[in-house]
Chain A
Amino acid sequence: MSTTTITEVAAIRDTGRFRLLRSRDFPLVPVLIILTIALVAVFADFLAPHNPEVGKLAARFKPPFWMAGGSMTYPLGTDQLGRDMLSRLIFGARVSMVVGFTAVIFAGVVGTTLGIISGYMGGWVDQAIMRLTDAWLALPALTFAIFLAAIVGPSEMNIVIILALVYWTRYARIVRGEVLSLKEREFVRLAVVAGCSKWTIMRKHILPNVMNSAVVLASLMLGVVIVAEASLSFLGVGVPPPKPAWGLMLSDGKQGLMVGYWWLTVMPGLCIMLMVLSANLLGDWLRVKLDPQLRQL
Chain B
Amino acid sequence: MSNSTLSYASSKAAPRAIRDIRPPLLELRNLSTHYVSQQGTRVVPAVDDVTLSIRPGETLGVVGESGSGKSTLALSILRVLPTAARIVNGQILFEGEDLVTKSDSEMRHVRGKRIAMILQDPMASLNPLFTIGNQVAESMRVHEGTRRRAAWQRAIELLKSVRIPSSETRVTQFPHEMSGGMRQRIVGAIGISCEPRLLIADEPTTSLDLTIQAQYLALLRDIQREHGLALIFITHNLGIVAKMCDQLAVMYAGRLVEYGPVERIFDNPVHPYTKALLNSIPRIDGMRQRLTAIEGQPPDMARLSPGCAFAARCPMAFDRCRVEAPPSVALEENRTARCWLAVPEPPRAAVGVA
Q: Which of A189, A191, A195 contacts B143 (CB 8 A)?
A: A195
Q: Which residues of A contact B142 (CB under 8 A)?
A: 194-197, 200
B127 touches A205 (CB 8 A): yes
Cα distance, A208 to B129, chains bound together (Å): 7
With a cutoff of 8 Å between Cβ atoms, the chain B residues found around residue A197 in the complex are 108, 142
* Per-position 1/0 for A185-214, Cβ under 8 A of B: 111011111111100100011001100000
Stretch of B17-25, B111-119, B166-174, B316-324 contacting A (4+ beta carbons < 8 Å): B111-119
Contact of B129 among A186, A191, A209 (CB under 8 A): A209
For the complex, give the distance between the alpha carbons of A1 and B84 in Å.
61
A123-B124 in contact given A194-B112, A195-B108, A195-B139 (Cβ < 8 Å): no
Interface residues on B, range: 20 to 34
User: Contact between B111 and A186 (Cβ–Cβ < 8 Å)?
Assistant: no
Which residues A200-258 have CB closer than 8 A to chain B? 200, 204-205, 208-209
Residues of B within 8 A of A192 (CB): 80, 111
Q: How far is it, in angstroms, between the C-alpha of A187 and the C-alpha of B78 when the chains are bound?
A: 16
Give the shortest distance, in Å, between B347 (CB) and chain A (any CB).
45
Cβ of B183 to closest chain A Cβ, rounded Å: 11
How close is A137's CB to chain B, nearest CB, in angstroms? 26
Contact B108 A187 (CB under 8 A): no
A190: which B residues are within 8 A, CB to CB?
117, 119, 125-126, 187, 190
B48: Cβ under 8 A from any A Cβ: no
Establish whether residues A193 and B78, one from each chain, have CB atoms under 8 Å apart when the complex forms: yes
Interface of A is mostly: helix
CB of B332 within 8 Å of the partner chain? no
A186 with B119: CB separation less than 8 A? yes
Q: Is B42 an interface residue (CB 8 A)?
A: no
Rounded to whole angstroms, the CA-CA distance of A196 and B128 in the bound complex is: 17
In the docked arrangement, what's the CA distance between A196 and B108, Å? 7
Q: Are B121 and A195 in contact (CB under 8 A)?
A: no
Determine whether the beta carbon of A195 is less than 8 Å from that of B187.
no
Query: Please, which residue of chain A has its CB at the minimum distance from the CB of B113?
Result: A195
Contact residues in B for A205 (Cβ distance below 8 Å): 127
Contact A193 B117 (CB under 8 A): yes
CB A24 to nearest CB in B, in angstroms, measures 24
Q: State how many residues of chain A have any CB contact under 8 Å with chain B.
A: 19
Interface residues of B in 186-244 (CB under 8 A from A): 187, 190
How near does chain A come to B280, taking the closest CB pair, in angstroms? 29
Contact B112 A195 (CB under 8 A): yes
**Are A194 and B80 within 8 A (Cβ)?**
no
Q: Is the CB of A196 within 8 A of B78?
A: no
Instruction: Assess whether A209 is in contact with B127, with CB atoms less than 8 Å apart.
Output: yes
Which of A122, A194, A200, A204 touches B190 (beta carbons < 8 Å)?
A: A194
Q: Looking at the complex, which one of A185, A194, A204, A209 makes contact with B116 (CB distance below 8 Å)?
A: A194
Instruction: Verify A189–B112 contact, CB threshold 8 A.
Output: no
Residues of B within 8 A of A195 (CB): 108-113, 139, 142-143
Known: A194-B138, A195-B111. A189 touches B129 (CB 8 A): no
Which chain B residues border A123 with CB–CB below 8 Å? 83
B122 interfacial contact with A, CB 8 Å: yes
B120 within 8 A of A: yes
Measured in the bound complex, the distance between the Cα atoms of B143 and A197 in whole Å is 11
Instruction: Indicate if the CB atoms of B139 and A186 lie closer than 8 Å.
Output: no
- Whether A194 pairs with B139 at a CB distance below 8 angstroms is yes
Interface residues of A in 126-175 (CB under 8 A from B): none
How close is A208's CB to chain B, nearest CB, in angstroms?
A: 5
When A194-B190, A195-B142, A208-B129 are in contact, do A189 and B119 touch as well, CB less than 8 Å? Answer: yes
Bound CA–CA A187/B120 (angstroms): 11
Question: In the assembled complex, how far is the CB of residue A269 from the closest CB belonging to chain B, in whole angstroms?
Answer: 42
Contact partner of A187 among B116, B127, B143, CB < 8 A?
B127
With a 10 A CB-CB cut-off, give which of A122, A186, A187, A194 has the most chain B CB atoms: A194
Question: Which residues of chain A come closer than 8 Å to B113, judged between CB atoms?
Answer: 195
| CA gap between A197 and B109 in the complex, in Å | 10
Is A187 a contact of B109 with CB atoms below 8 Å? no
The answer on a CB contact under 8 Å between A196 and B83 is no
Q: Which residue of B lies closest to A212 (CB)?
A: B129
Q: How far is the CA of A209 from the CA of B129 in the complex (A)?
A: 7
Contact at B83–A187, with CB atoms within 8 Å? no
A109-122 interface bits toward B, Cβ cutoff 8 Å, 1 = contact, 0 = none: 00000000000001
Interface centre among A185, A186, A197, A209 (most CB of B within 10 A): A186
A residues at B contact (CB < 8 Å): 122-123, 185-187, 189-197, 200, 204-205, 208-209
Having A191-B138, A195-B108, A195-B111, one finds 15 other A-B pairs with CB under 8 Å, namely A123-B83, A186-B121, A186-B122, A186-B124, A187-B127, A187-B128, A192-B80, A193-B116, A194-B112, A194-B139, A195-B112, A196-B142, A208-B127, A209-B128, A209-B129
A-B contact pairs, 10 of them (CB 8 A): A187-B126, A187-B128, A190-B187, A191-B138, A192-B111, A193-B117, A194-B112, A194-B190, A195-B108, A196-B112
The 5 lowest CB-CB distance pairs between A and B, nearest first, are A195-B112, A194-B112, A195-B111, A186-B124, A193-B117
